[in-house]
Chains A and B, each alone.
Chain A
């Protein structure tokens, strides 16, 4: 254990912990923009500077490892002045469009400008990177809002492994770019959108979210992604019951803050009219059972040859109880008549491990067959 003092408070922590982590764990908040707990240290925003006893200059706490006997000061007049000056410099090249900005409310720069009570820059305002890129259907890159914290670059490199973007250009002209500033689709980008997730400002915004409402007006709905068996947690942002974007939250147990391209952008099926919302029963079977007055004939041609069959023509919606009863009855009839091996079970990779386990158990013990397969068995 390492023992140090932060703002006069004695703190014990594990070796290798940074001062910022130790402070946050002890409810001492230090402003920060480029730091992200899941990513490597950058040290570029200079906002988390603290005074260390014996150091001549303030040092960023995000990259400072705790050492025994360290005495840290996170708040004093000089530090506050420096931090204020840093925010002032940030907004000297960041348009304060907060009244119409989609990020307003969750933007970190806005948060700190509010905390330091800065309404406008004391310097000459100049946008360093007036670049607007809408070269893909998923998200917009509006570089004027970019503060070059480099979180997107690091997440792309360290978490996703795509390495599609990096810093390009020098000094004031420095911006985040694909190689040779080519469109994103020609880069190694996989459109997972994790860069949007970690972006502290409105530089990266999902297209679906543009102009759809303020952050505080949105309802949040946590759910599990249905695309695969990993079971990532997704938080949908809803306006009037409709999804406008998907994100994850740091407390998500499986995936942390990160999602793949399907989870983040592939949610439009939720409100698609073709989506099945209840069990469906084939109309001819339903007619036999007396559940509908209209009969229907199984087409002679292959279903593939029938152009766009309408599900309402061939099926009727039924409730779960009826569906389950019917399935149970039909299964047991078949087992009785033709034996258990006349039935085969096919499970889906989109089900969880537990669901697949129960499924095979049901087949082996309930039905009594080993005729089982799975779409991910390759």
Chain B
């Protein structure tokens, strides 16, 4: 065991960070980057430089998602002995003002130094901002951008998976170590047998976060008990639900946590190689995970001798080519093998015959990211969060008609009402709530009367929806449900792989019926046919994609049947008008 070295590196990084009087965190997750966080980060960096202050006055840190993506780019300032301040909607210019507000300005000569002209921010600008700040009596435009951290959006959340996102620099292994990273792995390798690890996970009652909710500990035990020489671990990062980006965020903002979970899993099941399957549309996640793997290899966290023990594990990245169906485990395995990503019949399940017919654990990114916390804090701690059958927390990508949208982590069992009206801040422009759509194209719509039902696997299933990977779209009363269902059906038509008939042709025919109804040419018989067809596709499709493809239609037919009936009535009145 040579974890002491790593601990020392972490301590050194912690000491280094402690020397700074203030640290300015700039979110560089995809959502904020697309809102301009790249320029903001450069601007922050240059502004601090332009202040000409002592080097330990301030440090600009590239970090991960802070949650409130709708207000991106987000910047958080943490000063010693002061409460942190979160700023939203920061532009490059606001970034300069922000620095001038928080960072003291050192000696600045009247004459600019050589090279200063080339900078977008000069020390003179900083002086100027400081002067205008004084003039305004410390009141500044920036005050409007401050987001209260006491807001329910933050206070209602419980962070396990997202514990370090927004705090650590995802590109720095040292930063992760400074925040207690790889301690769980060290503990597992030193003090636990593989069996104990599996039992610990089993006791924590962690369930797969990919959507189906299979007990993770049980899955690991299946693979552990297999006698095969080669075993594999696959982390499923092929997140494809429209509007969902939980796994992307975890991979982008805390790649080492995913890696740590994966190595612990490999130790527990006896695997010596693993793959992280990441969809090609996530270039930042791919780069950061790759860097994390390189760094981990350099520090002997991966390789022939993990942390100096006999345990060997290597990880590699496989990039998806943009097929939704590759999130299905058997299709994913085919894709990793270099074949066309098409699902196959189960059994045999991957735990007996998976990648190259070897026993394989496939877990979602979020599931793996839960593992280090469970090891560090114990199974009992984890099992104390959540409901009776669904333990722990769940990350949701909150989207749709809400005041606050973004990434949230909530304990299982929280009600939809809390999510919508407290965390989400309610529906804007005082419009009414219509439905909450969970689980993306495989999920269903939950109407207002069930807003108080708890969010856990069983309750959502009972309502005709699924937990899914964590997409949560809130719809207000301006949306027509048949249109909404049609959108998801179009998605499934595009993403069907073509292997089994009900999904390949059935989804197309469901789409045609919906089009017909929406165009006002439908009849009651069409609705009945739609229901029948949905039932056939649901019961006879080969994989999860097809089996759940009719869910948006079935759940809207169940709860918003009146809207479909209205479409038919409109069609009939239009007909009689013509006659």
Bound Cα distance A150, B542 (Å): 15
Chain B positions within 8 Å of A320 at CB level: none
Chain A positions within 8 Å of B493 at CB level: 171-172
Q: Please, what's the 1-or-0 string for B487-514, where 1 marks a CB less than 8 Å from any CB in chain A?
A: 0000001111111111111111100100
Interface segment among B76-84, B394-402, B532-540: the answer is B532-540
Q: What does DSSP make chain A's interface, helix, strand, loop or mixed? A: loop
Chain B positions within 8 Å of A85 at CB level: 532-533, 536, 540
Shortest Cβ gap from A63 to chain B (Å) = 4
Contact of B340 among A123, A126, A166 (CB under 8 A): A166
* CB of B342 closer than 8 Å to a CB of A: yes
- The reply to whether B509 and A170 contact each other, CB–CB distance below 8 Å, is no
Interface residues of B in 536-550 (CB under 8 A from A): 536, 539-542, 547
Interface residues of A in 62-119 (CB under 8 A from B): 63, 65, 82, 85-86, 89-90, 92-93
* CB of A128 closer than 8 Å to a CB of B: yes
Shortest Cβ gap from B334 to chain A (Å) = 11
Q: What does DSSP make chain B's interface, helix, strand, loop or mixed? A: helix
Chain B positions within 8 Å of A57 at CB level: 539-540, 547
- The reply to whether A167 and B347 contact each other, CB–CB distance below 8 Å, is no
Chain A residue nearest to B324 in the complex (CB): A170
- Choose among B323, B502, B509, B512 the residue with the greatest number of A CB atoms under 10 Å from its CB: B509
Bound Cα distance A249, B503 (Å): 33
Q: Please, what's the 1-or-0 string for B469-497, where 1 marks a CB less than 8 Å from any CB in chain A?
A: 00000000000000000000000011111
- The reply to whether A86 and B536 contact each other, CB–CB distance below 8 Å, is yes
Shortest Cβ gap from A167 to chain B (Å) = 6
Shortest Cβ gap from A154 to chain B (Å) = 12
Interface residues of A in 140-165 (CB under 8 A from B): 147-148, 150
Interface segment among A7-15, A40-48, A284-292, A365-373: the answer is A40-48
* CB of A60 closer than 8 Å to a CB of B: yes
* CB of A188 closer than 8 Å to a CB of B: no
- The reply to whether A174 and B497 contact each other, CB–CB distance below 8 Å, is yes
* CB of B344 closer than 8 Å to a CB of A: yes
Q: Please, what's the 1-or-0 string for B336-362, where 1 marks a CB less than 8 Å from any CB in chain A?
A: 000010101101000000000000000
- The reply to whether B497 and A43 contact each other, CB–CB distance below 8 Å, is no
- The reply to whether A43 and B502 contact each other, CB–CB distance below 8 Å, is no
Interface residues of B in 298-349 (CB under 8 A from A): 323, 340, 342, 344-345, 347
Shortest Cβ gap from B183 to chain A (Å) = 42
- The reply to whether A171 and B512 contact each other, CB–CB distance below 8 Å, is no
* CB of B529 closer than 8 Å to a CB of A: yes
- The reply to whether A174 and B345 contact each other, CB–CB distance below 8 Å, is no
Chain B positions within 8 Å of A148 at CB level: 498-499, 501, 504
Shortest Cβ gap from B495 to chain A (Å) = 7
- The reply to whether B532 and A44 contact each other, CB–CB distance below 8 Å, is no
Bound Cα distance A89, B507 (Å): 10
Bound Cα distance A85, B501 (Å): 11
Interface residues of A in 261-275 (CB under 8 A from B): none
Whether A122 touches B529, Cβ cut-off 8 Å, given contacts A46-B540, A167-B499, A170-B498, is yes
Q: Please, what's the 1-or-0 string for A317-330, where 1 marks a CB less than 8 Å from any CB in chain B?
A: 00000000000000
Chain A residue nearest to B532 in the complex (CB): A85
Shortest Cβ gap from A271 to chain B (Å) = 42
Bound Cα distance A218, B504 (Å): 36
Shortest Cβ gap from B515 to chain A (Å) = 10
Bound Cα distance A57, B536 (Å): 11
* CB of A309 closer than 8 Å to a CB of B: no
Q: Please, what's the 1-or-0 string for B380-401, where 1 marks a CB less than 8 Å from any CB in chain A?
A: 0000000000000000000000
- The reply to whether B498 and A171 contact each other, CB–CB distance below 8 Å, is yes
Chain A positions within 8 Å of B342 at CB level: 167
* CB of A182 closer than 8 Å to a CB of B: no
* CB of A124 closer than 8 Å to a CB of B: yes
Shortest Cβ gap from B15 to chain A (Å) = 54
Chain B positions within 8 Å of A58 at CB level: 539-540
Chain A residue nearest to B536 in the complex (CB): A85
Chain A residue nearest to B507 in the complex (CB): A171
- The reply to whether B536 and A82 contact each other, CB–CB distance below 8 Å, is yes
Whether A171 touches B547, Cβ cut-off 8 Å, given contacts A90-B501, A124-B509, is no
- Choose among A42, A123, A148, A169 the residue with the greatest number of B CB atoms under 10 Å from its CB: A123
Shortest Cβ gap from B185 to chain A (Å) = 38
- The reply to whether B500 and A170 contact each other, CB–CB distance below 8 Å, is no
Chain A positions within 8 Å of B505 at CB level: 89-90, 92-93, 128, 172
Chain B positions within 8 Å of A92 at CB level: 505, 509
20 residue pairs bridging A and B, Cβ less than 8 Å apart: A41-B345, A43-B542, A44-B500, A45-B500, A45-B501, A46-B501, A46-B541, A60-B345, A65-B347, A85-B540, A123-B512, A123-B533, A128-B505, A147-B501, A148-B501, A150-B499, A167-B340, A169-B498, A170-B323, A170-B494
Q: Which residues of A contact B (CB under 8 A)?
A: 41-46, 49, 57-58, 60, 63, 65, 82, 85-86, 89-90, 92-93, 122-124, 126, 128, 147-148, 150, 166-167, 169-174
